[in-house]
Amino acid sequence: MTVSTWAPGTVDLGDPDTFADHDLDEFWRTLRDTAPVSWNPPADGRRGFWVLSRYDDIMATYRDDVNFTSEHGNVLVTLLGGGDAGAGRMLAVTDGHRHHELRKILQRVLSPRVLDEVARAVRVNTRQLIREAAESGGCDFAEQIAGRIPMTTISNLLGVPEQDRDFLLTLTKTALSTDDEDIDDVDSEMARNEILMYFADIVEERRESPGQDVISMLVGSSVDGVPLSDDDVVLNCYSLIIGGDETSRLTMIDCVRTLAAHPEQWLRFKHGEVAVETAVDEVLRWASPTMHFGRTVVRETELHGERLRPDEIVTLWHASGNRDERVFEKPGEFDLARTPNKHMAFGYGPHFCVGSYLAKVEISELLLALRDFTTGFEQAGEALPIRSNFLTGFSTLPVRFRPDHRGLKEVDL
């Protein structure tokens, strides 16, 4: 597709192939400049929807719980499918008082203070995996490292048995981020249902024999004096496993791929010229693994001269907002020292990601392990992109590591 065809309405953002087959940077720039509120027409039996591409408009919509709601779904796959079955029960698709109360429950177990022990385990696990990869000279980073760190972390929190984790990873990939063109909407829906059924069995076990994990905590929680139902717990487990694995895994893969392509940025970090916290924020901005979130119009409102009517779908595109020239200086440049960096990788407002602290811990530990155990790394083969209209990233990433022999002498992981 040539630049001359990048016009509003010419690109179907509901089609996963659009993102796998095209670099959309020029398209997003065109929308931000000429049609910040544009209409994605109906296609292939899917409804049409509004597209917001400017940072400030996206942030304003995230804050607006009067004119917009999450309770009809918050991603295109459910919004276009007629709604989310978890509405009013799963945190991500619940608004108002119940959302506030559910969020308080989850924040108690995902707070930095509570997660100190989890963070230490992330450090040990990450350093062991990177050390082994550096010593061996290389690996498929996506499968052997990024595919193991987030899933191990969130599984430990939820109390998922170790023998079930590969099975769950396969399901989460099929549900939202497959690289297989033969996987269709039916396969993805079946995978999502299998995840729900899996957690239904665990919830039943925890009711009979509670432990110290998040599921046990949810089983024992209530909102306004009413205990959470099995469905409430199962749906929020689904949300945690998808959010805790998919986005962190894809960000880690993009981080290594991007640093391999920008060795000058890697060396700045390796030599201590950039703080890890600053680097993490740029990694998140650049990767923007969650390309969009969605809302449904509740009350008629107007934005940039376009009238948004009740029941219409509005999509908020991080993929564009995190590259908005109105907010970020030279947004097309990957700069680990970028500050300020008010990216929207975790969303904003009432639905700001409850797992953001844990995600930052995982990316921080990855960067620090790479710094300590390698002198550098390079992509050693083709990276296979996932096919999704929600998430972006790669499912494979062959990497060749150059070991830092002085760092590898370290005994204490």
What is the strand order of the sheet 138-140 is part of?
138-140, 398-403, 374-379
Q: 37 — phi, psi (to 5°)?
A: -120, 105
Rounded to 10°, the helix 116-136/149-158 angle is 150
CATH code for the part of the protein at 3-103+116-137+249-408: 1.10.630.10
Q: In angstroms, what CA-CA distances link 174 with 166, 189, 193, 307, 308?
A: 12, 9, 11, 37, 33
d(CA 50, CA 269) in angstroms, rounded, equals 40
| pTM attached to this predicted model | 0.93
Per-residue three-class SS string for 320-357: HHCCCCCCCCCCCCCCCCCCCCCCCCCCCHHHCCCCHH
pLDDT at 74: 95
Q: What is the pLDDT of residue 4?
A: 43
- Backbone torsions φ then ψ of 222, nearest 5 degrees: -145, 160
| Residue 239 contacts residue 90 (beta carbons within 8 Å) | yes
Tell me the CB-side half-sphere exposure of residue 117, using CA atoms within 13 A. 6
Alpha helices in 110-180 (DSSP H): 116-136, 141, 149-158, 165-176
By DSSP bridging, strand 313-317 and strand 49-52 are parallel
* Per-residue confidence (pLDDT) for residue 1, from 0 to 100: 42
According to DSSP, residue 288 is labeled -
Q: What is the number of helices (H) and of strands (E) in the chain?
A: 18, 12
Q: How many CA atoms lie within 13 A of 291 on its CB side?
A: 22
Helix crossing, 149-158 with 248-261: angle to 10°? 160
> Residue 361 and residue 280: Cα distance in Å, rounded?
9
pLDDT at 85: 84
Distances (CA, A) of 9 to 27, 38, 49, 333, 398: 11, 8, 11, 28, 36
Task: Identify the helix (H) or strand (E) that includes residue 297.
Answer: strand 292-297
For the chain, the domains span 3-103+116-137+249-408
Q: What is the pLDDT of residue 212?
A: 87
Residue 318 CB burial class (10 angstroms; 0-12, 13-18, ≥19): buried
Q: Quick one: which of 80, 114, 108, 106 has its CA closest to 232? A: 106
Per-residue pLDDT of the chain (413 residues; tens, 9 = 90+): 444 456 777 899 999 889 987 889 999 999 999 999 999 999 988 999 999 999 999 999 999 999 999 999 999 989 998 888 889 999 999 999 999 999 999 998 787 877 888 999 999 999 999 999 999 999 999 999 999 999 999 999 999 999 999 999 888 878 776 666 666 778 888 888 999 999 999 999 999 999 989 999 999 999 999 999 999 999 999 999 888 889 999 999 999 999 999 999 999 999 999 999 999 999 999 999 999 999 999 999 999 999 999 999 999 999 999 999 999 999 999 999 999 999 999 999 999 999 999 999 999 999 999 999 999 999 999 999 998 999 999 999 999 999 999 888 865 55
